[in-house]
């Protein structure tokens, strides 16, 4: 067995003199851009490149958080930062690379702590320093590729199910390492959830300079929180840039996956759009289907008698013209929050059926375009994008995690979990009351009865203003039944409608329910998981399922903050280590040891039992009907990063060598 491998150490690559020369080539453009760009990344970059910390010291008390609006730097201070940075960049353009580019953990930590207005712990420094250089070519991966003969790599063909953000990431990293792979995608193109969800208003609610691959920054995001089309195009761009399409079999659904013990390989049954079945085989299987891809269509009495269009948000019928129509929308989660305010101005009537309530809060940048200067700096100034992302990572990473933890001594457990959770609830309430000050009837109908984060926290997309519109009605309690041309609410009242939109979410706990998945010794995944209790070690590996590595598997969705791109990259790096271990050791197969899997899931359950889900009033899509949380992760991002940083081969059983 080869030695345990650790994740590649941070690479402190020096940016070439030429890149700096290009950044300062047009000083007028540079200065104009920096006058418009966020000053805090400028400050940190100036400290990095010059090694001078005096400006950091002066600015420290004027920065209170990682978001770009969380500082009180005066125009004069911004000018000083800007001019010092321009001088430093010019100097850097004239000299060979300086050692100052090469950030030490201490230097990085000092600058970042100033930039986010709080002390950044060593674990975060280590993680973000690695992220900091992620866009540079992974030299070690390429070097590894050269040490293993192609013939050895060729015996480990990887079968990936899904060309969404995780399947694409896996493909990119396998391609870099020279390992053969095929991606099977049921849709006609890439993008997964960002392709399928094209409902009006669809957008991300995580800042997209963080909600993107660390190795593929995009300087051209038009908004802080991109809309669906832009995100989908980003994924399309990645598929093209990394030449993935020739590895993808589109419009091909994997209907069955069976592990052949004798051959030590996965055998797939595939179905095309005509229903014709074919087969494929490979040594490694990577289901990368995500958890939010099967719409939950409620079984509402009489819905087939409605007589007009009825569709789910994730299957939006673009042929239906909503203008002047009476629309009934069922559901008020993240999708409903985006659809409602977007369609209300054009429909005749929007009747919203609210079964459960949701907390939401505004974000100042949610509807803002990116400043032109920041975009210029992201595109043209070395390291600017890395600092920008590090600040956002901090701001939308783990800061809220403490709010989700139960304090057993807390004196108001019916509404909050601890002092921080309570203070945040007060803020949410203040926002809600301010928005609905003139409509006490709506306040009564909308204040949630559970602590913040009991359900996914929503960004206020103009929800309360929506509810006050003349053509909008909020109906409490959900739907009793549907009749021709109307929806009947729980109080028996009839609401005439022409179109029904189901913003009713996804069957998250029924992971891989539509795939017949059979592992070693004829073990069906349902015999381990039942219908809706998926579990995996690190959300990735399952005993009896050799060489199967899940991406975005059980307990990996983020509920307190963070970005699925980040979690996916953690998983992909871990899987790459497993694949290397298999190849280097010449093993036929590896599978996680049952006690390791069981112990990990005990830890997941124990952590969740101390979190907001334990609150009696909390119902959400994270839990299965038995009340076990299967979808979301209990860990901080940095904890999961550490857990997945290095493969420990002793967690696995390895099967005999391949001849």
Write out the residues near ligand N01 by the rule CB under 6 A: 204-205, 292, 298, 313, 330-336, 338, 353, 355-356, 456, 478-479, 503-506, 621
Backbone angles phi, psi at 47, to 5 degrees: -65, -40
Minimum CB distance to ligand N01, residue 134 (Å): 23
Alpha-carbon span 26 to 33, nearest angstrom: 11
How far is Cα of residue 205 from the mean position of the Cα atoms in its chain? 10
Count of CB atoms situated within 10 Å of the CB of 420: 17
Rounded least distance, CB 336 to ligand N01, Å: 6
Q: How far is the CB of 38 from ligand N01 (least distance, A)?
A: 23
**Least distance in angstroms from the C-beta of 318 to ligand N01:** 17
- For residue 9, the SS3 value is coil
A 10 A CB-CB count for 62 gives 15
Q: How many CB atoms lie within 10 A of CB 614?
A: 13
13-37: b or e for each residue (b if 16 or more CB lie within 10 Å)? Answer: eebeeeebeebbeeeeebeebbeeb
Task: State in angstroms the smallest separation of the CB of 359 from ligand N01.
Answer: 11
Taking phi over 0 as left and psi of -120 to 50 as alpha, with beta for the rest, 117 belongs to left
The SS3 assignment for 204 reads coil
Nearer to ligand N01, 109 or 333 (CB): 333
Q: Output the smallest distance, CB 303 to ligand N01, in A.
A: 10
Separation of alpha carbons 77 and 74, rounded Å? 5
Query: Nearest approach, Cβ of 205 to ligand N01 (angstroms)?
Result: 4
Decide whether 489 or 581 has the Cβ nearer to ligand N01: 489
For 548, the 3-state DSSP assignment is strand
Least distance from ligand N01 to the Cβ atom of residue 191, Å: 14
Classify 651 in phi/psi space as left (phi over 0), alpha (psi -120 to 50) or beta: alpha
CB nearer to ligand N01: pick between 404 and 588: 404
Distance in Å, CB of 139 to ligand N01, minimum: 34
Concatenate the DSSP letters of all residues of 151-172 into one string: HHHHT--EEEE--SHHHHHHHH
- Given the complex with ligand N01, which of 5 and 480 has the nearer CB atom? 480
Give yes or no for a contact between 224 and 324, defined as CB atoms under 8 angstroms apart: no
| Residue placing its CB nearer to ligand N01 in the complex, 332 or 416 | 332
User: In Å, how far are 30, 162, 514 from 511, measured between CA atoms?
Assistant: 50, 14, 8
Rounded to 5 degrees, φ, ψ at 127 are: -65, -45
Task: Name which of 393 and 453 has its Cβ closer to ligand N01.
Answer: 453
For ligand N01, the closer CB: 85 or 204: 204
Strand spans (E) along 5-121 = none
**Residue 353 or 652: which CB sits closer to ligand N01?**
353
């Amino acid at each position: 067995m080869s030695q345990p491998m650790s994740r590649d150490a941070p690479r402190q690559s020096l940016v070439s003199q030429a890149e700096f020369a290009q950044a300062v080539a047009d000083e007028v453009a540079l200065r104009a851009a920096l006058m418009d760009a966020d000053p805090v990344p400028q400050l940190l970059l100036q400290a990095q490149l010059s090694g001078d910390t005096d400006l950091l010291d002066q600015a420290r008390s004027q920065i209170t958080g990682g978001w770009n609006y969380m500082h009180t730097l005066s125009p004069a201070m911004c000018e000083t930062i800007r001019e010092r940075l321009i001088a430093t960049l010019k100097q850097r353009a004239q000299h060979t690379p300086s050692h100052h580019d090469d950030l030490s953990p201490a230097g990085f930590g000092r600058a970042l702590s100033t930039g986010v207005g709080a002390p950044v712990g060593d674990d975060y420094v280590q993680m973000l320093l690695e992220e900091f250089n992620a866009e540079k070519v992974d030299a070690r991966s390429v070097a590894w590729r050269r040490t293993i003969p192609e013939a050895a790599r060729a015996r480990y063909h990887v079968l990936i199910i899904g060309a969404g953000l995780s399947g694409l990431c896996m493909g990119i990293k396998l391609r870099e390492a020279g390992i053969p792979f095929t991606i099977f995608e049921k849709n006609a193109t890439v993008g997964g959830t960002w392709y399928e969800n094209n409902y009006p208003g669809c957008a991300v609610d995580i800042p997209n300079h963080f909600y993107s691959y660390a190795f593929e920054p995009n300087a051209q995001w038009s908004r802080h929180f991109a809309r669906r089309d832009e995100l989908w195009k980003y994924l399309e761009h990645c598929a093209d840039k990394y030449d993935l399409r020739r590895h993808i079999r589109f419009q091909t659904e994997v209907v069955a996956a069976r592990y052949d013990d004798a051959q030590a390989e996965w055998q797939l049954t595939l179905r095309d759009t005509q229903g014709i079945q074919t087969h494929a085989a490979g040594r490694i299987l990577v289901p990368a289907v995500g958890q939010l891809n099967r719409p939950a269509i409620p079984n509402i009495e009489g819905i087939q008698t409605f007589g007009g269009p009825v569709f789910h948000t994730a299957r939006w019928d673009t042929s239906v013209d909503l203008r002047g129509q009476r629309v009934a929308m069922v559901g008020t989660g993240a999708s409903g929050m985006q659809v409602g305010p977007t369609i209300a101005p054009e429909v005749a009537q929007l009747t919203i059926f609210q079964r459960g309530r949701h907390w939401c809060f505004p974000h100042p940048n949610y509807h803002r375009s990116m400043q032109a200067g920041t975009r210029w700096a992201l595109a043209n100034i070395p390291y600017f994008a890395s600092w920008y992302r590090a600040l956002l990572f901090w701001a939308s990473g783990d800061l809220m995690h403490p709010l989700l933890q139960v304090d057993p001594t807390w004196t108001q457990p019916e509404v909050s979990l601890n002092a921080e959770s309570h203070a945040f609830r007060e803020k949410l309430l203040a926002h809600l009351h301010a928005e609905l000050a003139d409509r006490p009837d709506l306040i009564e109908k909308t204040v949630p009865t559970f602590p913040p984060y009991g359900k996914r926290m929503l960004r206020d997309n103009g929800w309360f203003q929506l509810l006050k519109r003349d053509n909008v009605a909020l109906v409490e309690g959900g739907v009793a039944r549907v009749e021709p041309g109307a929806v009947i609410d729980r109080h028996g009242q009839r609401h005439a409608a022409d179109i029904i939109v189901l913003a009713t979410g996804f069957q998250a706990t029924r992971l891989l329910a539509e795939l017949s998945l059979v592992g070693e010794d004829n073990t069906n995944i349902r015999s381990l998981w039942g219908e809706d209790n998926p579990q995996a070690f690190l959300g990735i590996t399952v005993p009896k399922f050799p060489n199967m590595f899940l991406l975005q598997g059980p307990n990996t969705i983020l509920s307190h903050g963070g970005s699925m791109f980040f979690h996916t990259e953690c998983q992909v790096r871990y899987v790459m280590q497993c694949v290397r271990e298999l190849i280097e050791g010449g093993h036929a197969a590896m599978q996680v040891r049952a006690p390791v899997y069981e112990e990990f899931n005990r830890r997941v359950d124990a952590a969740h039992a101390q979190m907001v889900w334990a609150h009696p009033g909390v119902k959400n899509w994270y839990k299965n009907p038995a009340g076990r949380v299967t979808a979301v992760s209990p860990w901080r991002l940095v904890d999961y990063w550490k857990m997945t940083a290095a493969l420990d081969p002793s967690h696995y059983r390895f099967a005999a060598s391949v001849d």
